[in-house]
Structure 1
């Protein structure tokens, strides 16, 4: 997961939506060259990595979800990763989309490092020695992450318990 050409973190400290650029301060945002996966850290996710991925075969909306079901909403904080969420708003993604992270490039920020690849985005959390592959087929956990009870408002959850 660590292989790849390092990208300049400063290039990923903004997000753009409708020609309006938002400075993200200590947070980052990026999109894969395919446009299928957009990721961002932010205050609204307590610094966790949140990604929106266009899934090839999205899971159905759970009965307990009210509002808009976003099957490709992924949150990864190092000790847990969840896929799917009922959302009333776009969260930090209201700021838009970050710069493109070219295939084969790695972006290191905080405790994370992500590599863009044609097979998906591979992200590791150094503090917890865990990782995920996020792609249009879903989430693949690595390290201490194991399948866990899925909360009623999600499609899947993996944790380091």
Structure 2
């Protein structure tokens, strides 16, 4: 089984889980004092880790970390078939966004049990030459997809039997970055820059080109 097909299979399982999750706004019982203390501790640890990473970062990763950061908790809502905000449901294990132009959508799992999944992006319109179909691809050859794996490998095009990116998600404004887990993406008018933060590997995707770093 090729890496692209394995990626697709695991991502589709996560998508199925996301679609069946509880919608945002469902009541959750919790002790307010304990929750506040836990949140404060978590925020302190996250800030400390981000500061350390940012200090050691360079190139595109530094640009992602230096950009205006959005709250990752606001990007768990998505739909893989609907086209209206009310169609979105919340996934605690995945984050997703679309660009203001709605041309590029990206998502990634925060709890990947296989270690195979990374960022998956889809450009609806690409004017650059499409990637060549692999000889062993027996499914749909999706030329709009780009995948970034945890080991830094970027795949241009995916052999898949399903949809891997959301049809609708919350918009990541231009000049803003979404960082969650070991991955992050920066939205800009010129395209989307996504990276595996620890390794510094990633790509820039736009209508006109795909560039890796």
Moved more, 65-74 or 114-123: 65-74
- 1:71 equivalent in alignment to 2:143: yes
Structure 1 residue 60: Cα displacement:
5.8
Alignment of 1:80-159 (within 5 A): 80-91=153-164, 93=165, 96-142=167-213
Query: Are the counterparts in 2 of residues 115 and 121 from structure 1 also a CA contact under 8 Å?
Result: yes
Q: Which has the higher helix share?
A: 2
**TM-score (norm. length: structure 2):** 0.59
Query: Are the counterparts in 1 of residues 106 and 122 from structure 2 also a CA contact under 8 Å?
Result: yes
Note closer, same or farther for the CA distance 1:111–1:63 as it changes in structure 2 (3 Å cut).
Answer: closer
Rounded Cα–Cα distance in structure 1 between residues aligned with 2:191 and 2:126? 11
Query: Are the counterparts in 2 of residues 27 and 47 from structure 1 also a CA contact under 8 Å?
Result: no
Note closer, same or farther for the CA distance 1:88–1:105 as it changes in structure 2 (3 Å cut).
Answer: same
The two structures, once aligned, show a CA RMSD in angstroms of 2.2
2:97 corresponds to which residue? Answer: 30
Q: Which has the higher strand share?
A: 1
1:49 corresponds to which residue? Answer: 119
Asked which structure has the greater CA Rg, the reply is 2
Paired residues, what number? 140
Rounded Cα–Cα distance in structure 2 between residues aligned with 1:72 and 1:55? 7
**TM-score (norm. length: structure 1):** 0.76
Structure 1 residue 46: Cα displacement:
4.3
Query: Are the counterparts in 2 of residues 113 and 124 from structure 1 also a CA contact under 8 Å?
Result: yes
| Secondary structure at the counterpart of residue 101 of structure 2 | coil
Note closer, same or farther for the CA distance 1:34–1:45 as it changes in structure 2 (3 Å cut).
Answer: farther
